[in-house]
Amino acid sequence: MGVPVIGTILEAGSKLIDKVVPDAADRQAAKLELAKMAQDGEFREQENQLKAITIEAQSKDPWTSRARPTFLYVMYVFILLAIPFGILGVWYPEEVKSASAGMKAYLESLPRELYVLFGAGYLGYVKKRSDDKKAIITGSAEASWLSRLF
């Protein structure tokens, strides 16, 4: 539950309390209790997020805690390569064009299905890991085979 949602709930609850509770002191006490409940819920959500991060970081398998960042690092390398290629392009424009044309040709030669498979697998992995972490944190269900693997 994000902060805008909590603000909306507090506002709606406050209006409802104003209509339902006739005594001003009781109204203030009810509004205070509503604010405490909202704050407790927000703190619990943040605590669960921190638990998930901690559980993943404490994993014995380095790949478990590094899979998503590793993918991002690879993407960063590709993006950052634009800087030296741009600078080299000033002195060696033909070579840079040739290198980028070669990379483009290689990436286009890979079948579309491979990109789809990678994307589906990556998104599925992320979703399953998130579900497993939620199950471990809340204790609501036994973790799936994926979390027992890692």
Kindly give the parts of the chain with pLDDT less than 50.
Answer: 1-3, 150
The domain spans of the chain are: 1-58
| Tokens encoding 58 | 């404490």
Residue pair 27/17 in contact by the 8 Å Cβ criterion: yes
63-101 tens-digit pLDDT: 665 666 677 788 788 889 888 888 988 999 999 899 889
pTM for this structure? 0.38
Q: What are phi and psi of 31, to 5 degrees?
A: -65, -40
Q: What's residue 1's pLDDT?
A: 42
Provide the 3-class DSSP secondary structure of residue 77: helix
Alpha-carbon distance of 150 to 129, in angstroms, equals: 10
pLDDT of residue 2: 44
Q: What is the pLDDT of residue 82?
A: 85
Give, rounded to a whole angstrom, the gap between the first and last alpha carbons of the chain. Answer: 29
